[in-house]
Amino acid sequence: MRQASVERTTKETQIKTRVDLDGQGTYHVSTGIGFLDHMLEQLSRHSLIDLDLEAKGDLHIDNHHTTEDSGIAIGEAVAKALGDRKGITRYGDAMIPMDETLVRVAIDLSNRPYLVWRVSLPRDKLGTMDTELFKEWFQAFAQAAGATLHVEVLYGENTHHMVEACFKGLARALRQALTLDPRKADAVPSTKGVLGGSL
C-alpha cells in the first residue's frame, strides 16, 4: 500500500497530511487560504492521489509559511509513500490547456530535487494570496518529494487560469510518473540501481 502520513510542526505552522498514491482523487483540504485549497483539490483530483491535509499557520502575518510548508509536507508524504521507488514509471509530462492558457509540465521522480519555473503571472494577487508564492509551493514540493520538475506557461492572459493549469499539469504528470510499470515492477528505474545522488 503506497500510503504515508506526515506531521510537520514549527513555530509558524502545524500541518498534518496523508496521501494514498493509488487512490481515487478524493480530498479533504483546509489551509485557511481559499485559493490554495482550490489548487490542492485540483492536484488531488487530477493525480488520483487521495489527499488529506489540515494546516494551521501564522496567516495573521501572511500566507508564505503556510503555503511553503504545505508543499513540504505533501512532498514528504509522496516521497515516503514511494519508498525506494521500485517499479515506478519515473517520468511524466502533461500539456494542459485552460481557455486561452497553455501550460507544459514535466517531472522526473529521480530523487534529485530541481525546479525550473518559467511562469510569469500578470497579477500580484489571487484572492488573498500573493501570486509569487506559487513558485515557493512548487519549489518546496519538488525539494521534499525528490522530483526534478519543469513548469512552463507557454502562453496565457488570465492569472487564475495560468496557476490552475500549472497545478493540473503537475497532477497529470505526477499521475503518470508514479504509475507502476508491470514490466519492471521489481526494479528501480535507473541503471545505477538506486534513484538519487549524482548524475
pLDDT, tens only, 71-108: 999 999 999 999 999 899 999 999 999 999 999 999 99
**What DSSP string describes 100-129?**
TEEEEEEEE--S--EEEEE---S-SEETTE
Q: What is the 8-class DSSP label of residue 11?
A: S
What pLDDT, on the 0 to 100 scale, is given for residue 182?
Answer: 84
What pLDDT, on the 0 to 100 scale, is given for residue 197?
Answer: 56
What pLDDT, on the 0 to 100 scale, is given for residue 187?
Answer: 61
Question: Model-level pTM greater than 0.85?
Answer: yes
Domains of the chain: 3-184 (3.30.230.40)
C-alpha cell at 58: 501564522
CA distance 151 to 170: 8
The dihedral region occupied by 149, where left means phi > 0, alpha psi between -120 and 50, and beta the remainder, is beta
Judge whether 104 and 173 are in contact, CB under 8 Å.
no
What pLDDT, on the 0 to 100 scale, is given for residue 183?
Answer: 77
What pLDDT, on the 0 to 100 scale, is given for residue 199?
Answer: 43
What pLDDT, on the 0 to 100 scale, is given for residue 184?
Answer: 72
| Residues lower than pLDDT 50 in the chain | 191, 198-199
**What DSSP string describes 39-80?**
HHHHHHHHHT-EEEEEEEE-TTT-SHHHHHHHHHHHHHHHHH
The angle, 0 to 180 degrees and rounded to 10, between the axes of the packed helices 64-82 and 34-47 is 20
Nearest to 12 by CA among 72, 46, 59, 52: 59
